[in-house]
Amino acid sequence: MLVDLDYFFAQAEETRNPSIRDKPVVVCVYSGRSEDSGAVSTANYIARKFGVKSGMPIALAKSKLQNVDAVFLPVDDTYYEKISSGVMSILKRYADSFEQAGIDEAYLEVSQRTKESYEEATELAKRIKNEILTNHSLTCSIGIGPNKVIAKVASDAHKPDGLTVIEPGRVLEFLSPLPVDRLIGVGLKTTQKMRALGVTTIGDLAKLDVQRLVKIFGKKLGLYFHNAAAGIDGEPVQERAGATSISRISTLKEDTRKLILITENTDRLCEEIKAELDQNGLVFRTVTAIAIMKDLSVRSRSKSLDNTNRLEVLQETVKELFERYLAESTLEIRRAGVKVSGLSKVGKNQKELSSFFE
In the complex, which residues of this chain contact ligand TTP (CB under 6 A)? Answer: 4-9, 41-42, 54-55, 103-105, 159-160
308 half-sphere exposure, CB direction, 13 A CA radius:
14
28 binding partner (options Mg ion, ligand TTP, none; Cβ < 5 to 8 Å by kind): none
Looking at the annotation, which residues are catalytic?
105
Comparing CB distances to Mg ion, the nearer of 12 and 61 is: 12
C-alpha span between 212 and 111 (Å, rounded): 35
Comparing CB distances to Mg ion, the nearer of 186 and 291 is: 186
Among 4, 14, 77, 233, binds Mg ion (CB under 5 A): 4
Comparing CB distances to ligand TTP, the nearer of 55 and 236 is: 55
210-217 helix and 219-229 helix, angle to the nearest 10 degrees = 140
Among 104, 138, 164, 288, binds Mg ion (CB under 5 A): 104
C-alpha span between 179 and 191 (Å, rounded): 9
**Residue partners of 122: CB distance under 8 A and separation at least 6:** 144, 163, 165
Parallel, antiparallel, or unpaired for β 140-144 and 282-293?
unpaired
C-alpha span between 121 and 2 (Å, rounded): 12
Buried b or exposed e, range 88-125, using 16+ CB within 10 angstroms: beebeebbeebbbbebbbbbbbbeeebeeeeeebbebb
55 binding partner (options Mg ion, ligand TTP, none; Cβ < 5 to 8 Å by kind): ligand TTP
77 binding partner (options Mg ion, ligand TTP, none; Cβ < 5 to 8 Å by kind): none
160 binding partner (options ligand TTP, Mg ion, none; Cβ < 5 to 8 Å by kind): ligand TTP
336 binding partner (options Mg ion, ligand TTP, none; Cβ < 5 to 8 Å by kind): none
Cis peptide before 160 (omega within 30 of 0): yes
Comparing CB distances to ligand TTP, the nearer of 243 and 313 is: 243
Report, in Å, the least distance between residue 29 CB and ligand TTP. Answer: 7
Nearest to 323 by CA among 259, 273, 240: 259
Among 1, 2, 3, 8, binds Mg ion (CB under 5 A): 8
Contact segment (CB under 5 A) with Mg ion among 100-108, 217-225, 255-263, 341-349 equals 100-108
Contact segment (CB under 5 A) with Mg ion among 5-13, 287-295, 297-305, 337-345 equals 5-13
**For binding to Mg ion (CB under 5 A), which residues are involved?**
4-5, 8, 104
